[in-house]
Amino acid sequence: MSGVDKWFGELHVLQDIDLSIDRGEVVVVIGPSGSGKSTLCRTINRLESIENGEITIDGQKLPAEGKELAKLRADVGMVFQSFNLFAHKSVLENVTMGPIKVRKQSKADAEKRARELLDRVGVGAQADKVPAQLSGGQQQRVAIARALAMDPKVMLFDEPTSALDPEMINEVLEVMVGLARDGMTMVVVTHEMGFARKAANRVVFMDGGRIVESATPEEFFTNPSSDRAKDFLSKILNH
Amino acid sequence: MQFLIDNFDLFWDAFLTTLSLSLLACLVALVLGTLLAAMRVSPIAPLRGLATFYVETFRNTPLTVVFFFMIFGLPQIDFVIGFFTGAVLSVGLYTAAFVCEALRSGINSVSPGQAEAARALGLTFGQSLREVVLPQAFRTVVPPLGNVLIAMVKNTSIAAGFSVSELSSLLPRLVNASAGDLTAILVGVVVGYMIITLPSALAVHRIERRVAILR
Ligand SMILES: Nc1ncnc2c1ncn2[C@@H]1O[C@H](COP(=O)(O)OP(=O)(O)O)[C@@H](O)[C@H]1O
Ligand SMILES: [Mg+2]
């Protein structure tokens, strides 16, 4: 993405954002609340539109609303802070909906693949329950399986663990680390330093709608170059 | 009682007219109402505007005026429709506005994250509405939608004023002819309406309980 600007009314949420992500790269986005991290994530699959600049994915410009956009979104997996599993569908149906409705796979193929994915994220036994019967950690892993079922080119994670009880955070992070190891291209908004150190190729620090710093995890955590990053790190490391 | 038996054919015909008028108008109202609701939540501003205009127009116009327009207004522009068709369209188009509003409030009760997740998967706007939002909206919408449709059945009585021989049109006709049987006539008409509305109310109750357990 280059030269991206976004306003919410008077508020300039994203200011002249330049960011390019290589295939297979894992980028962690970090920054104070309200700095525009979620918005950045959401512009990448155009859940939010932008006023200026350009976003391209795999050489393709983001199309405007319509069928083309839907096609592009199918290639971009998204995992939300609040899971957003389809409440009226079983876990299995949550994972097969995209492949069946968007990729036009047969039900049998989609279900076979869905069960593999659910096993991979460790919730295979829950396939026939509805989301409300699962713990938060399990729900988020189902959400990851749902996104993976589309064979996305890139996955976006918007604070995937911040709605979880502490004991469930690791089970989700482990799945994500596994994905990173397998070469998935990932953009992850998170404050989990452990994940950033273990899996990220790059840490991007945002503040006030700008990218203030972009560095490797070692550099960023041991020796941040900007004062705002230093200030931010001291706050989150002290609690 | 004897009066009702003697005039059974009359009541039966009127009942069938009210029933078919209700069913056809219900079909129009549900189809058009769903379409309007989809338009009202669509990302395309002109569609939203059009649907809002429709809903506000019909919601704020008395049904009698809608009938008047259909049956006497349209012929003025050389568009003649029969009394019965006019009644179906009047009640159907009018009720569609209320169906739309009931559905829309149901749609708004579904958390926006649901539609977002659907769109993020690559479902089109129509698919996410069909597969994700409407099935969930339906759960909260059953009771208010039931009320709208029961009110609609009763609203078909306005057709009596426009030469449709439905149930309530029996009242002035029979009472004039045989004032002594007023009670029997009233009972006949009321029972006719109840045969249509009570099962609907019961069905609404049933569906409401079923979806409540599903949740
Ligand atoms: N839909 C919206 N309408 C108006 N303002 C919004 C909307 N979404 C986010 N904002 C504002 O934009 C800013 C950035 O939000 P966000 O991207 O969610 O930040 P972060 O995820 O870093 O906490 C915040 O000030 C927030 O209040
Ligand atoms: Mg956020």
Residues A176-226 pLDDT 10s: 999 999 999 999 999 998 999 999 999 999 999 999 999 999 999 998 989
Taking only the tens place, the pLDDT of each residue in A130-164 is 999 999 999 999 999 999 999 999 999 999 999 99
Burial B64-89 (b: 16+ CB within 10 A, else e): eebbbebbeeeeeeeeeeeebebbbb
pLDDT above 60 (res B213): no
Ligand 1: which residue has its CA nearest to atom 12? Answer: A13
Ligand closest to CA A159: 2
Instruction: Give dist(CA A179, CA A195) in Å, integer.
Output: 12
The pLDDT tens digits for B137-194 are: 888 888 899 999 999 999 999 998 888 889 999 888 888 888 788 888 899 999 999 9
Spatial CA neighbour of A187 closest among A28, A35, A45: A28
- What's the CA-to-centroid distance between A38 and ligand 2, angstroms? 4
pLDDT of the residue at A30: 94
Look up residue B201 and give its two tokens: 């109310």
Across chain A, what does the average pLDDT equal? Answer: 92
Instruction: Give me the mean pLDDT over the B12-27 stretch.
Output: 95
- Taking residues B30-54, report their average pLDDT: 94
Task: Tell me, yes or no, if B212 comes closer than 8 A to chain A by beta carbon.
Answer: no
Percent pLDDT > 90 in chain A is 76
In Å, how far is A105's CA from the nearest CA of chain B? Answer: 14
Give the mean pLDDT of chain B.
Answer: 90
Query: Please, where are the H alpha helices in A102-216?
Result: 107-120, 136-148, 166-181, 193-199
Smallest CA separation from ligand 1 atom 2, residue: A8
Mean pLDDT along residues B95-121: 94
Query: Across residues A104-110, what is the average pLDDT?
Result: 96
Candidates B121, B124, B127, partner chain A, best to mutate (most A CBs within 10 A): B121
Q: Does the distance separating the beta carbons of B117 and A88 come in below 8 Å?
A: no
Quick check: B112 contacting A, CB < 8 Å?
Answer: no
% of chain B surpassing 70 pLDDT: 98
Please, which pLDDT band fits residue B50 given cuts at 50, 70 and 90? very high
Mean pLDDT of A6-30: 91
Considering its fold, how many domains does chain B have in total? 1
Q: What is the 3-state secondary structure (H, E, C) of A136-161?
A: HHHHHHHHHHHHHCCCCCEEEEECCC
> Nearest chain B Cα to A143, which residue?
B117
Q: What is the arithmetic mean of pLDDT over A34-51?
A: 92
Give the closest residue (by CA) to ligand 1 atom 27: A34
pLDDT at A4: 85
pLDDT tens digits, A111-139: 999 999 999 999 999 999 999 999 999 99
Q: Do A84 and B132 touch (CB under 8 A)?
A: no
pLDDT of B121 strictly over 70? yes
Within an 8 Å CB–CB cutoff, is residue B116 touching chain A? yes
Instruction: Report how far residue B36's alpha carbon sits from residue B59's, in angstroms, rounded to the nearest whole number.
Output: 13
φ/ψ of B35, rounded to 5, equals -60, -45
Q: For residue B214, is pLDDT > 60?
A: no
A45 contacts in chain B (CB < 8 Å)? 120
State the smallest CA–CA distance between residue B120 and chain A in angstroms.
6
Contact A45 B131 (CB under 8 A): no
What is the mean predicted confidence (pLDDT) over B76-84? 87
> Ion ligand 2 — residues with CB under 5 Å?
A 38
Q: Is pLDDT above 80 for B210?
A: no
- Is the pLDDT at B85 greater than 90? The verdict is yes
Q: How far does the centroid of ligand 2 lie from the alpha carbon of residue A18, in Å?
A: 19
pLDDT for B215 equals 52
Report the distance separating Cα B56 and Cα B94, nearest Å.
10
Find the domain containing B16 and state its range: 2-211
Which residues have any ligand 1 atom within 6 Å of their CB?
Answer: A 8, 11, 13, 31, 33-39
The answer for A3, left when phi > 0, alpha when psi is -120 to 50, beta otherwise, is: left
Q: In chain A, how many H helices and how many E strands? A: 9, 11
Band (pLDDT 50/70/90 cuts) for residue A239 is low
A129 by Cβ neighbours in 10 Å (0-12 / 13-18 / 19+) ranks as middle
Shortest distance between the Cα of A181 and any Cα of chain B, in A, equals 23
- The confidence score (pLDDT) of residue A102 equals 95
- Mean pLDDT, residues B57-61: 95
**ipTM metric:** 0.90
Minimum-distance ligand 1 atom for the alpha carbon of A159: 21
Q: Where are the alpha helices (DSSP H) in chain B?
A: 2-6, 8-40, 45-59, 63-68, 74-76, 83-109, 112-120, 125-128, 134-155, 170-177, 182-214
| Residue matched to tokens 């003697």 | B6
Atom of ligand 1 nearest to the CA of A42: 17
Indicate which atom in ligand 1 lies nearest the CA of residue A35: 22
Cα(B187)–Cα(A116) distance, rounded to whole angstroms? 65
Burial class (CB in 10 A: 0-12, 13-18, 19+), B18: buried
Percent above pLDDT 90 for chain B: 60
Q: Is the pLDDT of residue B16 over 60?
A: yes
Distance A226 CA to ligand 2 centre (A): 22
Supply the CATH number for residue B200's domain.
Answer: 1.10.3720.10
Q: What is the pLDDT of residue B173?
A: 86
